[in-house]
Structure 1
């Protein structure tokens, strides 16, 4: 497991440093959110200031903030090298309070460099990894890219789409990552494009829950708060139907992906059991094989939301959107592995606090899908 259990209840002294370049800035409170592996994270910082300091902040046109957190051996004497770089953020807006003189900073991580910039370039004769490397350099990010082999023009042809018109860099990268079955995210000043989940966190973060007993009429857990949600609609069998008219073939194709607690299957007839929760989608110019793939993709996305979990934990810098979170000990279906949908950290000076809240949804299982 990624964390150590059982917890020893050791007293710790979390510390955090925020830096703009080589300058350490004062802060009273910061709140950081990771919104999933395909989205930009956010940061809000409260900075105590004097009126004399306003001039410096208002004259800046580009501000990058490095957020460090950790548990230094000497809590009274430490530097950024004693902590872990949580993330690098770019300030989007500065809000000044004329009465308190405080400054509020609203930021996004450097994924924002990719979402804000559009390009109009033809990539058909390059692989996805070549495109990712080029686009990372275009915005000044360091590429950490795993090599791929398929030319991206193959994906555009299969999907009957074209990226000849302007698209954001992030749209292009996530499109290619999804087709290659890879991850795409920014950490610090580096763009990661590849299968990094197991490399960055090979083990899950385990939340251990010990229910009440006769001798101990209260539960114990390494989480300070733990809540679950079960979507009873998705608890029933779910069916996703994808229809498409293919203009060049002058044909209509239909694919139905269904799931239950014991089986998953893809059907091509239009007869659906009345007990299924049905979802219908229509796309243009898909082949039969593409309808099958699209139906399965949508079924997996919908089924992920049957079980949800929210846990508040002592603060750390080891949980990220690609970190699986495993719950143990409830002796219910909630004992499963969750995919982190949102991670929020808050650190404040007064009162002293550092905690992390994880919102998870059930991860896609590895069940085999057969065509019938």
Structure 2
């Protein structure tokens, strides 16, 4: 272990606290997990709460059943769940305004458990990505722009939006890519396809849908994590793409025209040559779509992506006390592991967890040193 000066996100003057609300009502809870997943995926949660079987109703029907009254968990179709966590200035007097909202989503499944430990309910769900994933569309809106379609879907699902305007009719993408769209696809799949064509990222945080360049989501500052200080466990793995043949294709076109330009960059490693023809041989192929580039710009983009993929990737995971400021947009800086691994990393998944009985707030963080763009096969 390398001895360093203190470099870590410490909260020495407060204790972790959490609040859970179900349908805008504060509820007691035993524990929760919130998974903040990668781009284009839904964030998920698991919430465990005590449940009561009563002779007659006292208070809310959210976490109770009586012979005459059903819990709303069995009767209401859309149940909103909000999870807050953090370190309030006064841990004995706080509200959700003193904490960070880590989940704003809706219930998917409910499990009721009755055993010698008593009665409890486990609620699982997704963030506001869920309505888009559950809604199919047969219209592909070829005469509208990507931003207009995304705005329309956000309004239909009752979400606020932060959308970068686009100006190309999406029918151009369908014809120029020669893609075959399925008869009915989900709104989420269609929006992700359009984000890929625009070189954008699609994301939902809280009650807001974001659609814009990926770099605009990433935070410029890093959060420090130091082995031996604020890291409990740490695992690092070198996964060299350089051990594979790499081929990168960048496809572009002039909006409104049929002209299609493909730029290719490839790299054959000495290792890949030695194992060619054996079961160990692997080829890494990536395809990207960027409209409106010249041939030279497309080639430059392919070369840049190839350079990134040719690097040795370091991936890892760590566990630590919970940090309510950490999400997948927040890069980290690793310390205490030495030259070559004390690097800037980008999260690929963040899991927050809270145990109310023990008063423990923990976090697991998965990360990579390569901030790679999202690739696509060009069809949905």
TM-score in terms of structure 2 length:
0.76
Aligned residues of 1:122 and 1:164 also touching (Cα < 8 A) = no
**Number of aligned residue pairs:** 330
2:205 counterpart (180, 183, 187): 187
1:79 counterpart (91, 95, 98): 95
Structure 1 unpaired stretches of 5+? 210-219, 262-271, 284-288, 367-372
- Tell which deviates more after alignment, 166-175 or 196-205: 196-205
Give the distance between the partners of 2:352 and 2:113, measured in 1 at CA.
Answer: 24
Structure 2 unpaired stretches of 5+? 1-5, 55-63, 252-257, 288-294, 374-380
Q: Confirm whether residue 333 of structure 1 aligns to residue 340 of structure 2.
A: yes
Give the distance between the partners of 2:318 and 2:28, measured in 1 at CA.
Answer: 29
Aligned residues of 1:30 and 1:45 also touching (Cα < 8 A) = yes
**Could you say which residue in structure 2 is the equivalent of 1:32?**
34
**Could you say which residue in structure 1 is the equivalent of 2:177?**
159
Q: CA deviation at 1:200?
A: 6.0
Q: 1:356 to 1:282 in 2, by over 3 A?
A: closer
Q: Confirm whether residue 356 of structure 1 aligns to residue 368 of structure 2.
A: no
Q: Confirm whether residue 103 of structure 1 aligns to residue 121 of structure 2.
A: yes
Q: Confirm whether residue 226 of structure 1 aligns to residue 234 of structure 2.
A: yes
Q: Deviations over 1:98-157 (max 9, x none)?
A: 332110101111111111111111322222111110111122211111212222222222
Q: Secondary structure at the match of 1:221?
A: coil
Give the distance between the partners of 1:297 and 1:123, measured in 2 at CA.
Answer: 33
Aligned residues of 1:197 and 1:322 also touching (Cα < 8 A) = no
Q: 1:129 to 1:71 in 2, by over 3 A?
A: same
1:236 counterpart (232, 243, 253): 243
Q: Confirm whether residue 312 of structure 1 aligns to residue 319 of structure 2.
A: yes
Q: Confirm whether residue 58 of structure 1 aligns to residue 82 of structure 2.
A: no
**Could you say which residue in structure 1 is the equivalent of 2:50?**
48
**Could you say which residue in structure 1 is the equivalent of 2:187?**
169
Alignment of 1:205-354 (within 5 A): 205-209=223-227, 220-231=228-239, 234-236=241-243, 238-240=245-247, 255=264, 257-258=266-267, 273-274=273-274, 278-279=282-283, 306-354=313-361
Root-mean-square deviation (CA, aligned residues, Å) is 3.6
Aligned residues of 2:106 and 2:127 also touching (Cα < 8 A) = yes
**Could you say which residue in structure 1 is the equivalent of 2:291?**
none
TM-score in terms of structure 1 length:
0.77
